[in-house]
Amino acid sequence: MATVLRDLWDFDDPEGSEQRFRTLAADAAEPEASCALTQVARALGLRERYDDGHAVLDRLSPDDPEVRVRLALERGRLVRSGGDPGAARPLFEEAAAQARDTGLEELEVDALHMVALVVDPADQLAAHEVALDRARSASDPVARDWDASLLNNIGMTHADAGDHAAALVAFEDALEARERIGDLSRTRVAKWMVAWSLRHLGRVDEARAMQRALKAELEAAGEHDPYVDEELGLLG
């Protein structure tokens, strides 16, 4: 079921995603229908329709283990996006614990990644590391592939603290993970993050070379990224 849900997501088009999940929910039997409706709630949250998202979740019955995990996880996302990260934390922790107990590794790592986004800033790096360790120890390859996003988050946490040397290490590891996964668009973002970190470390020539290579790669694909141009402008 998780594979089907992932395939229906387009995070750049939450409205279109919502409609695909509603169609799936209408056609599927339980518990697949309820799992699909949790993603309807998530899509509504991305459109800032938090009350509507909660209303969808309120109608679901958590009889199935995966539905229970997804209910807690998506309720937490709605609460966090609605402006109350403190109230979202126990929901994410509940989702992580339930997912662990039922062997739903991908959802466990997802929930742990959300925990790391709502803990106190002083605890954030440790929480990201917990999620990363769990991803790396997972038997589910999709759960393991969370390492790329988690390493990026670790890099940003270091960068926000002004430790760009540690950030660079994390971003380089994230790039390696992205190259392993094979998502071209996200690999380009990971390259940009490495170059961005190099600039902050004063390694301007290396940063410029990476951004120029990215620009050439994008132009060859008929694409454009204003963030690459912005960095090249800063690098001179």
Contacts of 106 (CB under 8 A, 6+ apart): 2, 138, 140, 142, 143, 146
Measured CA to CA in angstroms, residue 107 lies from 97, 176, 190 at distances of 10, 23, 23
pLDDT, tens digit, 9 for 90 and up, residues 147-159: 999 999 999 999 9
What global pTM score does this model have? 0.93
Closest CA to 216 of 205, 225, 207: 225
Q: How far apart are CA 58 and CA 56, in angstroms?
A: 5
What are the tokens at 224? 């454009």
At residue 4 the predicted structure's pLDDT band, cuts being 50, 70 and 90, is confident
Q: How far apart are CA 227 and CA 60, in angstroms?
A: 42
- Which pLDDT score, from 0 to 100, does residue 3 have? 66
1 has pLDDT over 70? no
Domains and CATH numbers, the chain: 1-137 (1.25.40.10), 145-236 (1.25.40.10)
Asked if 100 and 68 touch (Cβ cutoff 8 Å), the reply is: no
178 has pLDDT over 70? yes
Element (H, E) at 188: helix 184-200
